Each structure stands twice: as structure tokens, then as C-alpha cells.
A and B are shown apart, each in its own frame.
Chain A
Amino acid sequence: MAVCIAVIAKENYPLFIRSVPVQNELKFHYTVHTSLDVVEEKISAVGKAMADQRELYLGLLYPTEDYKVYGYVTNSKVKFVIVVDSSNTSLRDNEIRSMFRKLHNSFTDVMCNPFYNPGDTIQSKAFDSIVSAMMVQAS
């Protein structure tokens, strides 16, 4: 159950970002932005072996006191970032992985849409629904 989900393009601008507590959106935007540095560091760590050997799931990027940030990068350098609440201890790594997998699949579907220009913000309703399903139910 994510608190914030973001899709960042290859050029490091957001294609999609949604957070559940809407009032704190800016904070999550900032968090996602700072997590990009960690993502870059992780994907540049694999030097000689190109994307073939690189794991898509990056794992926990960094934890803060309030929440944890997980990262995932596709082969086309599109990054997914999920921010989850730290208090949600029941969330296991596998669940995060499955969330990323679903995100990736729905992102692929968005890409398949010929009316979607790569680089545009994602406005697909199907994608929205998938994301909403993954987000924490706002109280």
C-alpha cells in the first residue's frame, strides 16, 4: 500500500506522480526527486554489464523516519518510485516487487497505445486505476 507512486521518464522528468495524502503532495514530490539520485547511483554501479544483467528492481533506495522509498528502473531508463509508509511493516519485499511488476505492465500498456506519445504525461484511466488500487486508501 503505497503512499506515493511516481513514474519518471528517462530524462528525469515525471510522467506520472500521485500521492495519497493530497495535502502533502509537495513533500512527496521532493522525496521522489531526491530519490532519483540514488537511482542514478544504483544503475550506474553496474559498469560493464549493460542492462542485460541489471536487475530491474532496485530495492529500498533509502529509508527515512517516516517512510521508505523503493525504486525500479526499466530497460528504457524509465524509473518507477514507490513511497511506502514506514509504519506499514507488513509490507514485504515480494509485495513491493509485485507492485512494481504491475506498474510495469500497465505502463507497457500505456506505451502500446498509439495515441500516447512517449514523453507525455500518463493520462490513461487504466493506469490510474491500477495505481489507485495500489495506493493506501485515504482515510
Chain B
Amino acid sequence: MESLTLTDVEQKYYSDLFVYCDTDNTKKVASNGKVLDLFRAAQLPSEVVLQITELCGATRLGHFGRSQFYIALKLIAVAQSGLPLRVESLNSVKDLPLPRFVVAKNEQEARHTAMYPDLENQGPYQGVIPRPPGRGQVKKVSAHEVIQPCPDTTSPVVSPHQSPPTSPHAWRKHKRQASGGNVERPPVVVAGAVWTPFREVQSGPVVVGDGMWSAHSPPPVQESWVILSQLFQRIVSICYFPLNVSLCSNEIQRQSSSGYDDPWKITDEQRQYYINQFKTIQPDLNGFIPGSAAKEFFTKSKLPILELSHIWELSDFDKDGALTLDEFCAAFHLVVARKNGYDLPEKLPESLMPKLIDLDDSAEVPDQAPDVGYSGSPVEVTPNKSPMPSLNQTWPDLNQGNEQWETFSERSSSSQTLTQFDSNIAPADPDTAIVHPVPIRMTPSKIHMQEMELKRTGSDHTHPTSPLMAKPPELSEETKLATSMKFVTANSGDGYSSSDSYTSDQDPITSVVTRQRSNSGTSPEGLKVAAAPPPPPPRPNASHSRSSSLDMNRNFAAHPTGPQQSGVVACPPAIPPRPLPTQTSGPHSGHRSDEGLAAHSTTSPQQIPEQPNFADFSQFQAFAASDQPSDDGEKLCVLCSQVEKSTEGAGPLRTVKIDNQEERAAATVNSAKGSIMAPPPKPVRRRLKSEDELQDEALPPKSNVIATVLATLPSIPRSVGKDKKAIQASIRRNKETNTVLARLNSELQQQLKDLLEERISLEVQLEQLRPFSHL
């Protein structure tokens, strides 16, 4: 590309346009989108645009550098003036008019000559002066309708300033409708960023200042002024305000004459606009805008969050998370400046600092308006805030000072509590009805059902369910103490209550159940309770307990005269659970009786719903005739038979399994309870026998246990089938070994019992002999 010579005007214009297109703020490359928009706005046929793009080298480069952009603009001017597009024409054509860019709204276009580059109704574009560093040269352009076609333009708007190198802060309001007369060469910049939301927000009533901001042509003296871009003014009434122009020019002149003004000073018009915006968020001018609302508002400006955060830091003077009018204006001003490309200051400029409220003055006096600002500083103003020069405007509604003080105090207190807002994370709420922890396990549904049942049943009793549930430890103690009682009445709760190893909350529940039952003695309740919750899976201990009870039953039946064992249970298991406790009330050798009773009781209730009329009596009597050594086995067998009957639904295999389980469980229970006499494994043999009995429903011969076992043995395969014969045989073998060991165990336990009895007797003798020793 050949070098491009541009006139000064052209240079300015092009640079303005470049900055307009430089949405990425790179200062080097104009964004393609913007450029293409601009070119389209030139109202040239697309192929011409393409040609231009190609000619300027952008297609080659892939982007629009500054030189490419300038070339392109020049070519557009060439094209618009009807000259053929040629590179040579770039420099050859003299007096080329500036390229024109038009946009939808063409109201003003007619008024604009080709010379006038700045059409307000275009997409915002503006010239950019070489950015004076640090100087807050902000332009204000009102480009309301201009912006509409390009709602998202965010390019900063800076007007070129030429003569004074230190460009004073000149506010130029650029009217959308350029007054036709003021066709000035220096391009007047039109709105930079426009925040459409602002226009939406603005309700329409236009403040006086709006009129000033309505589009007007740049004053004749623009060249030396910095134009502030008014971004967001809604210009509803389109009218020419030469007055405004003069005002602006006066103002600009004033500003220019004052030399180097504070670039951050907010003009009256701006401030008025800011106030209007403030009102849209917070109607009360003395009030505050909360941080969240301010955040939304300023986020619309599409500045990066980091910059908005910095602006907030600068403007929120009292660091309370809310903006007063002053702070808001300062923030707004900074946003405008930033959008126009000026860097944010490191600290708040003085002119933007909010005023302190003079506490001595009575705030109701409006006269003090000039000196009193709506600063956010509360009564506890920090000493580092210095009163700032008064604003140009007087603030209305100052007589709301009282509320102001109140709000301030709230604010201050709120700020102080900021660091402590978490101190009450866990307040002791007396209303939360956590009186005492109630260890109720909520997960098992059957427990729920049991509770429901308890509640239902509990209504009939003196024991309300809640205390029952709330006193599980006591119940568990009761469980330990009165296992027999519980076992008596535990129906389906057998699964829960048969051993202490079960979950404690199940124990209390069942204990409650049992206690209720024992108190009321109504077996139907127990049945009901049993029926309501889903029956637990058959637990080994349960069966064991059953077996142990069967043992006890057998023992008792075998030794009706035995003081220790027989007294426990004499009644047949068929009797309903309630009477059983009465029968077991007699003191017996501690555990065994209890165990037996428990076992017995557990079995009986179990059997009751299933087989209310199992003829255990006959079995007992039949067994009673058998010899002693085999008593245990027989009793176990009887027990087993009972067990079998209770579980008669299962096939032989299952019963066999239960036998095994019973063996193991019985062993464990033995160890737990400490004195189970009848080894559970014993029933294994008996079980087989009892199976036979079950099947045959006949009393097997009792003289020979083994014979009975053998008798049962063939019955099983007979009943089951040839297929399972082998398995059953192996099972039988295992069981036989088990039974041998179990017999040994039982014999040893018998010896233990004997030894205990001897010990007791010896102790008694000792007691008797003691007085002699003292002699």
C-alpha cells in the first residue's frame, strides 16, 4: 500500500472512526465487525466494499490495521464520490469529501452534507484524539437514536483536540440532530457506548439537562475542546436547541478559559443525568443504592468486572456496600470515563469525592445545600475524609436529614457487623424442639411399623409410646433383666429379642412390646404386633432360642421333679404366652431356667400363630420315657420337631439348614448366656428324626436316638427324592460329627453343673464351720 496522505481533517476523522471501530481497545486493530458495519453504513454496494477491503490490504492481512483502515476510509470516500476505485486514486484525488456513513435513521442525514462527517444517527463513531494520558478527557455525546441501530457499541468516544495540548475538559453535547448550520469540519463525535438499558430505564421525563444534551451541533470552537461523549441520554424530544449549543459552547469556553480544569469534574448536565439515573433505582435522593442494584446497573455498561470492581472501590467512599447519590455520581462518572477510554485513576479524584455531611448543621436547612453533600459518611466519619468543594448544584430535599442520620446509623452498624455476621451461625434457638436427644433409629421400616403398632397398642396401656421410645436404655436394661418375660411374649419380635446381640433399638421395642404384653397380657396384641411388621428373616439365634427353649422344655418335661429345671416350665408350649411368665416365676438356677423359659417361650409364641395345636405334649411324654442320657437329645429333638413344625413350610433341606444354623447359633447363645445345657447340635439328629415325625406325623421310637435318626434318615431321601440323597448323606455325616461334639459339650456342661452344686454345698459347709474356726 502506498502511503496515505490525509488532510488534517481527514486524519482526525479517520482516527475517530478507527477508535470507534476499535472495540477491543487495542489501538492498533479495528475490529472486523465494526469495520464492516461501518462500511455497510457507507451505503456502498457490497462488491465495492469487498473491493475496498481488498485494496486496502485487509484481506491480505486478515484484519484492519490502522493504515488499512485509513485507506479503506479513503477509498470509501472515493467510491462515494463516484470515482473509480483505484489505489492510485487514494492520493491523487484532491478535495475528496470525507466518507459518509449512514444508518437507518436518516432524519438528520438530509441535513448533513457530505462534508459533514458526523451524522448522529449513524452508528456511533467518533474520532479519537491521541489519548492524553491520565487526563480525564471524556466526551459526552448524546446519541440516542444513533445508538439504537448499534446498541452494543462500546467504543469510547473522544473527540480530537487540537490546539491546546493540555486539553481542558470540555463538555460538548452533541445533539443527534446536528443543527444544520453547524457543519463543522472537526468531526464531532457521537455517542460512544450507549447503554440501551439506560434508555429503557429512563422513564421518559426529561430533565432540563436533557434538553441541553439533546443533539446539537458542536460549537464552532470544537477544535480545541474535548468532547465528552454522552452515552445514554434518551432524546425523546427532538428539537434543536441552539440555546443548548450556545450553552454548551459557553460552558466549553468557560472551561477552556479556565485553563487546565479538573478532568474529572462533573458538569451540571452530567450530574443531572446521573441524578435521574439514580432516581430510577432509588427514588429517594437521600437514600442509598444497595450494592446488588448498583452492580446490575453498572454491569449494563459492559465494562469488565475487574474494572467495575475497581470503580466501585474508588467510589464507595465509606465502604459500606451501598452508594449514595454522591458516590453514585462518582461511579457513573468513572464508568463514563472508562468507556471513553480513559484509564481509571488509582484513587478517587477530589472532584468526585463525596461530601461529608456536616453534622453540626441542622440538616433540615436547605440553605446549606451547597456545602452539604449526600456523602455516605455516617456520623462516624473517618478523619481522613476532607470536605470537598461544594458542588455546583444545590441538593433538594435536604430536610430529610433525620432519616439520613438514621439510615447512616443503620449503615454504620451494619458495616460493623459485617465482620461478625457469622458469629451467630448456630444460634441456640429455643424454639427448635430439641429437648433431649431421642435415640430412635429411623431407618428400619419395620421398626417404624412396630412403633406404629406400639402406638396403636400403647393406647390401651398406661405407657405412652413416646416415653417408651424415649427410654430405650431403660428398656434395654429391662431387656437384660427380664429376658424371659420378653421372650414370653415376643412373637414376631422373636427375631429381635431373642438375644442381646440384636440391635438395641429393636430390643427396646420388643421389650416394650413384651412389657406391654406382660402388663396387659393380651396375646392378641402380641399377635397384632407380630403381624404388623414384616417378619424378620429367620435369624439363627431365633431358632437357637427356640431350640434352647425346646431344650428347656425337654428338660423340664424330663425332670418334672428337678428343682432347678423342671419348675420352670411345666406347661406345654401350646399354652398362650401370657401364662408362661407365671409359670416361670419360680426362682431357678438362674440362667438355665431363664434360658429355657425364654427358649420355650420364644418357641411357643412362634408356634402359636403357625401351629396352635402342635402336639408337643405327646412328644414330651413320649420322650419322657426315654433314658436320661438321651434325654437331652430327645428333648432337643422334640424341640426340633417343634421348630420344624413352626417352619414346616420349608423343605427338608431348609430345615436341615436351620438345624445347622441352630447348632451354631445355639453354640453362640450358649456361650453368651453361659449356661445353656442342651447343646443345640443335638437337635440335629433329632431334627432329622423330627422331620420324619413331621412327615409321618407319628411318634418315632424313643429308646434309641440313633435309631430314630436312622429312621429319619431314610425318610428324607424318600421324601425328597433320589437327587438329594447324596447331599443329605453328607449333611448327615457332618451332623453326626456335630452331634458327637455336642454331646461332649453337653456332658461337660453337666459336669460343670455338678461341680457348681458341689461348690455350693462346700460353701455351705464352710459357713457352718466358720464359727468353730473362731473358737
- A contact set with B: CB distance below 8 Å: 50-52, 74-77, 104, 108-109, 111-116, 123-126
Assuming the A-B contacts A123-B306, A125-B346, are A115 and B423 also in contact, with contact meaning beta carbons closer than 8 angstroms in the complex?
A: no
CB contact under 8 A between A114 and B312, given known A51-B425, A109-B319, A123-B306? yes
* A111 to B316 alpha-carbon distance, docked (Å): 12
Closest to A53 in B: B423
**Which of B181-189, B289-297, B539-547, B688-696 is the contact stretch?**
B289-297
Q: How far is the CA of A91 from the CA of B63 in the complex (A)?
A: 58
Whether B312 contacts A113 by the Cβ 8 Å rule is yes
Q: Which residues of chain B come closer than 8 Å to A114, judged between CB atoms?
A: 291-292, 294-295, 312, 321
Q: Which residues does chain A contribute within 8 Å of B346, judged by CB atoms?
A: 125
A125 and B310 contacting across the interface, CB-CB below 8 Å:
yes
B421 close to chain A: CB less than 8 A: yes
Does B309 contact A116, Cβ atoms closer than 8 Å? yes
- Contact in complex: B313, A124 (CB < 8 Å): yes
Chain A residues whose C-beta falls within 8 Å of the C-beta of B442 in the assembled complex: none
Q: Which residues of A contact B310 (CB under 8 A)?
A: 124-125
The 8 Å CB contact of B316, one of A76, A77, A112, is A112
CA distance A111 to B321 in the complex (A): 9
Q: Which residue of A lies closest to B298 (CB)?
A: A115
Taking CB atoms, residues of chain B closer than 8 Å to A111 are 418
- Within B403-429, the residues touching A (CB, 8 Å) are 415, 418-423, 425-426
Decide yes or no: A104 and B419 within 8 Å by CB, A109-B319, A112-B291, A114-B321 being known contacts.
Answer: yes
Contacts of A50 in B (CB 8 A): 423, 425-426
B320 within 8 A of A: yes
Task: List which B256-304 residues lie within 8 A (CB) of chain A.
Answer: 291-292, 294-295, 298-299
Nearest 10 interchain pairs by C-beta: A114-B291, A114-B295, A115-B309, A112-B321, A75-B422, A76-B422, A109-B319, A115-B308, A113-B312, A51-B423
Closest to B323 in A: A114
- Once the chains bind, are B316 and A113 in contact (CB under 8 Å)? yes
User: Is there a chain A Cβ closer than 8 Å to B305's Cβ?
Assistant: yes
A-chain residues with CB within 8 Å of residue B306 when the two chains form the complex: 123
Contact A75 B423 (CB under 8 A): yes
CB closest chain-B residue, reference A115: B309
Shortest Cβ distance from B311 into A: residue: A115
A123 vs B425: C-alpha distance when bound (angstroms): 28
Which residues of chain B are within 8 angstroms of A109 by Cβ–Cβ distance?
A: 313, 319
Given contacts A112-B320, A115-B295, contact A51 B313 (CB under 8 A): no
A74 to B421, CA, bound (A): 10
* Cβ contacts under 8 Å, A104 to chain B: 419
Given A108-B418, A123-B306, are A113 and B423 neighbors across the interface (CB < 8 Å)?
no
CB pair B423–A112 under 8 Å, yes or no, is no
Told that A109-B313, A112-B316 touch, could you supply 16 new A-B pairs with CB distance under 8 A?
Answer: A51-B422, A51-B423, A74-B419, A75-B422, A76-B421, A76-B422, A108-B419, A111-B418, A112-B418, A114-B294, A115-B305, A115-B308, A123-B306, A123-B309, A124-B313, A125-B346
Tell me how far the C-beta of A114 lies from the nearest C-beta in chain B, rounded to whole angstroms.
Answer: 3
- Complex Cα distance, B319 from A18, in Å, reads 24
In this complex, what residue of A is CB-closest to B320?
A112
B309 to A, closest residue via Cβ: A115
Neighbouring A residues of B316 by C-beta, 8 Å: 112-113
Query: Is B419 within 8 A of A113, CB to CB?
Result: no
Across the interface, which residues of B come within 8 angstroms of A116, CB to CB? 309
Chain B residues at the A interface, C-beta cutoff of 8 Å: 291-292, 294-295, 298-299, 305-306, 308-310, 312-313, 316, 319-321, 346, 415, 418-423, 425-426
Give every chain B residue within 8 A of A75 (Cβ-Cβ).
419-423
Shortest Cβ distance from A77 into B: residue: B422
Give the interface centre of A114, A123, A124 by most chain B CB atoms within 10 Å: A114
Question: Which chain B residue lies CB-closest to A111?
Answer: B418
**Which residue from chain B places its CB closest to the CB of A109 in the assembled complex?**
B319
Which residue of chain B lies nearest to A124 when distances are taken between CB atoms in the complex? B313
Residues of chain A lying within 8 A (CB to CB) of residue B423: 50-52, 75
CB-nearest residue of chain B to A52: B423
A75 closest partner in B (C-beta): B422
With a CB–CB cut-off of 8 A, which chain B residues contact A125?
310, 313, 346
Q: Shortest beta-carbon distance, A50 to chain B, in Å?
A: 6
Complex alpha-carbon distance, A124 and B423, angstroms: 26
Shortest CB-to-CB span from A123 to chain B, Å, is 6
> A109–B382 Cα gap in the complex (Å)?
15
CB pairs A–B below 8 angstroms (14 shown): A51-B422, A52-B423, A74-B422, A75-B423, A76-B422, A108-B319, A108-B419, A111-B418, A112-B316, A112-B319, A113-B313, A115-B295, A116-B309, A126-B313
Find chain A residues with CB under 8 A from B420 CB: 75
User: Which residues of B are found within 8 Å of A52, using beta-carbon distances?
Assistant: 423
In the bound complex, how far is the Cα of B415 from the Cα of A111, in angstroms?
11
> Which of chain B's residues have a CB closer than 8 A to the CB of A51?
422-423, 425
Q: How far is the CA of A50 from the CA of B312 in the complex (A)?
A: 34
Q: Tell me the minimal C-beta distance from B298 to chain A in angstroms.
A: 8
A74 and B320 CA atoms in complex are apart in Å by 19
> Could you tell me the distance between the alpha carbons of A125 and B344 in the complex, rounded to whole angstroms?
11
- A127 to chain B: closest CB distance in Å? 9
Residues in A whose Cβ lies below 8 Å from that of B295: 114-115
- CB-defined contacts of B320 to chain A, threshold 8 Å: 112
CB of B330, distance to nearest CB on chain A (Å): 15
Q: Are A113 and B309 in contact (CB under 8 A)?
A: yes
Report the minimal beta-carbon distance from A46 to chain B, rounded to whole angstroms. Answer: 13
Give A45 to B410 CA distance when docked, in angstroms: 35
Contacts of A113 in B (CB 8 A): 291, 309, 312-313, 316, 321
CA A112 – CA B425 in complex, angstroms?
20
A56 to chain B, nearest CB (A): 9
Q: In the bound complex, how far is the Cα of B428 from the Cα of A50, in angstroms?
A: 11
Complex Cα distance, B545 from A93, in Å, reads 71
In angstroms, Cα B421 to Cα A109, docked, is 14
Complex interface: chain A residues within 8 A of B321 (CB): 112-114
Bound-state CA distance A126–B299 (Å) is: 21
Please give, as numbers and ranges, the residues of chain A lying within 8 Å of B422 by CB-CB distance: 51, 74-77
Question: In the complex, what distance in Å separates the CA atom of A126 from the CA atom of B316?
Answer: 12
CA distance A126 to B313 in the complex (A): 7
Give A97 Cβ to nearest chain B Cβ, in Å.
15
Q: Which chain A residue shows the least CB distance to B346?
A: A125
